[in-house]
Structure 1
Amino acid sequence: MSNIQLIIEERPNNIGNFMVGRLLPFREKRMVGPFAFIDHMGPVRLSDHENLDVPPHPHIGLSTLTYLFEGSIQHKDSLGTDIEIKPGQVNWMTAGKGIVHSERTPEYLRTSDKMLHGLQIWVALPKALEEMDPEFFHVEEHEMPVWNADGVHFKLIAGEVLGKKSAVPVYSPLYLLELKSTSRQTITIGKDLFGESALYILEGAIESEEHVFGPKQILVAKDSKLCEFVMQENTTVYIFGGEAFPEERTIYWNFVASSKEKIEEAKSRWLEQSFPKVPGETEFVPLPNQVPGVKFK
């Protein structure tokens, strides 16, 4: 019997001035462990007059994880954070009871050609921490464990697994692993994983139970402990998962919560513009169905 419960194809989704590949949520699988949302950005080439510009928008009940392969994003938030993220680094922003942030091409790159490619991930917070104060952490690449085993290069981007721990301050048991192989290799790490688990193929291909799977697919495992597959040469995959929460999560727009009441409250707060402001920003992303173009009060 196959251990692959579900195969999710990347689906194009417009987030503004360019397309991303939406991976989670999916109608048949809303979350994997605490992971509620995964977008694959790019790779996209932006010309000297094209830039990433996502105006201030709110979040509640989650942590966002931004991880770039190419390019650069200037992150600003309502805590006063103003920082550039580059490939290999992690921006970890915990919304808790509410945070607002913008994501734009840095000023010094706005008149030159550039690439943008990476992952943007939402991790739901445990119910007891949904109303925590918002936080932001920037984690350098050297703060993430990296090692080689049996011809495979591993990086633990977030969480704790395989006897390693990332500096990203997560709030529930989880893991986000990067595996890269230049040669054909068999992976048998399932016994060391826990909770729910899924695998995203960025490039190359894997073989599992006499099937070959290529880029832009997520494979959701029925049992992470049975996770065994073959990486073909020049393959990069991401394994993510962790302990699922006992309660379901409601996802609406940029909000994640354990109750619809919290979602409705957040919608009202954004309509009233009572979320904290991002210093130096005057634009904002309207609530879906809200009249666009309104400035901050």
Structure 2
Amino acid sequence: MTSDAIDLIIEGREKDLGDGFKVRRILPFHKQRMVGPIIFFDHFGPAEFKPGDGMDVRPHPHIGLATVTYLFEGAIAHKDTVGSDIVIRPGAVNWMVAGNGIVHSERTPPEERDAGMTIHGIQTWVALPKDFETCAPSFTHHPQDSLPVFQLGGAHARLLAGEAWGHKSPVEFPWGIWYVAVDAPEDAGFDVPADAAQERAVYVAAGPVDIAGSIVPQGSMAVLRQGAPARIAMPSGSKILLAGGQAMDGPRKIDWNLVASDASLIEKAREDWRASARKNWTGTRFSLPDDEHEYIPLPEDQ
């Protein structure tokens, strides 16, 4: 049963990404393909890696989107084909703009692999507006202390992207976006204004949480009704992500790791990924990050 302030509650669907590493997939959903520019939303962990084990997401391509990585626990070593080589830790944001094509890998850093580690975080894809979906790729790391932090009714809020409650994130994005991480060390409560963003959703990363009178369990997203304010009551220890923004400039197609407004852009990227591997990444559209020698083939080629 949902309240007058909630249009839809999406329960996370478990997906195995290989080697037993599971995620809860929220978006895209058949009844809700996007919320604002956010087109893909995965919650991974908490997962325990024993000493010697770790996460190894081999190099793979993206187009037409920006990937946003945010961690609650653990660390991920990111490498990409614009020369980035950086470890992300809790509270920071990795913002990778794929544009007309980028390749990256995500692995457990050597120190954490040796010691063992808990990994827990959110991976989001943000669709690029049509005027920017074939822009040059780029990567920006935003350290924890560069992101605005403020209080919301006793909860701690960190602004990951966009504007909220009078604060502005340093993350640059050419479309209206609203993305806030909120955790409650003690019981907390606050109101989400109707005009906080055109499209708004609340994801419960640790809960349950009372959203507009509905108890939303951990691993679920409440899509809020446009034009309706919503009261959020967070018990001690809960965590949520406020996510959304301006309605996107048209639908998007998703195929594997590729996003575009035009299917021909995806088909060309698929062909070029195959051709790049066949030609050993020499003189081709796609290459591999420095010191990487593996890659993920297209699903039908695996």
TM range (shorter): over 0.9
Question: Unpaired segments of 5 or more residues in structure 1?
Answer: 293-297
- Does residue 15 in structure 1 map to residue 17 in structure 2? yes
Q: Give the structure 2 partner of residue 256 of structure 1.
A: 259
Question: Over residues 85-122 of structure 1, what are the superposed CA-to-partner deviations in whole Å (9 max), with x where a residue is unaligned?
Answer: 11111110000000000011112232222111111110
Which of structure 1's runs of 4+ aligned residues deviate more than 4 A? none
- Which of 250, 254, 257 aligns to 1:247? It is 250
Q: Mark the runs of 5 or more structure 2 residues left unpaired by the alignment.
A: 277-283
2:109 maps to what in 1?
A: 106
CA distance in 2, matches of 1:209, 1:193: 15
TM-superposed deviation, 1:192: 4.2
Establish whether residue 234 from structure 1 lines up as the match of residue 237 from structure 2. yes
Match for 2:22: what amino acid? M
For residue 157 of structure 1, report the CA deviation from its aligned partner.
1.2
Return the alpha-carbon distance in structure 2 between the equivalents of residues 150 and 114 of structure 1: 32
TM-superposition CA deviations, 1:2-54 (whole Å, max 9, x none): 22111111111112221111111111111111001011111000112321111
Q: Is the 8 A contact 2:157 2:181 kept in 1?
A: yes
Q: Work out the CA distance in 2 between the residues paired with 1:71 and 1:232.
A: 24
Partner of residue 185 from structure 1, selected from 181, 184, 188: 188
Deviation of 1:225 (Å): 4.0
Percentage of matched positions with identical amino acids: 40
Q: Counterpart in 2 of 1:6? A: 8
Question: What secondary structure does 1:39 align onto?
Answer: strand
- The offset of 1:185, in angstroms, is 3.4
Question: What CA RMSD, in Å, does the superposition of the two structures yield over aligned residues?
Answer: 1.5
**How many angstroms apart in 2 are the aligned matches of 1:262 and 1:227?**
39
Query: What is the CA–CA distance in structure 2 between the aligned matches of 1:118 and 1:208, rounded to whole Å?
Result: 22
Residue 295 (structure 1) aligns with: none
C-alpha displacement at 1:232, in angstroms? 2.7
TM-score by length of 1: 0.93
CA distance in 1, matches of 2:204, 2:96: 25
Give SS of 2:273's match: helix
Tell me, in whole angstroms, the C-alpha distance in 1 between the residues paired with 2:179 and 2:9.
Answer: 19
Question: Which residue of structure 2 aligns with residue 283 of structure 1?
Answer: 294
Match of 1:272 among 266, 270, 275: 275
- Contact 2:47/2:120 (<8 A) preserved: yes
- Is this contact kept in 2: 1:194–1:224, CA < 8 A? no
**Deviation at 1:240?**
0.5
Task: Judge which range, 199-208 or 73-82, deviates more.
Answer: 199-208
Contact residue 13 and residue 24 of structure 2 kept, 8 A = yes
Partner Cα separation in structure 2 for residue 147 and residue 54 of structure 1: 34
Residue 83 of structure 2: aligned partner: 80
Please name the residue that 2:167 is paired with: 164
- For these two proteins, the number of residue pairs brought into alignment is 291
In structure 1, what residue type is equivalent to 2:197?
F
Instruction: Give the AA of the match of 1:100.
Output: V
Match of 2:98 in 1: 95
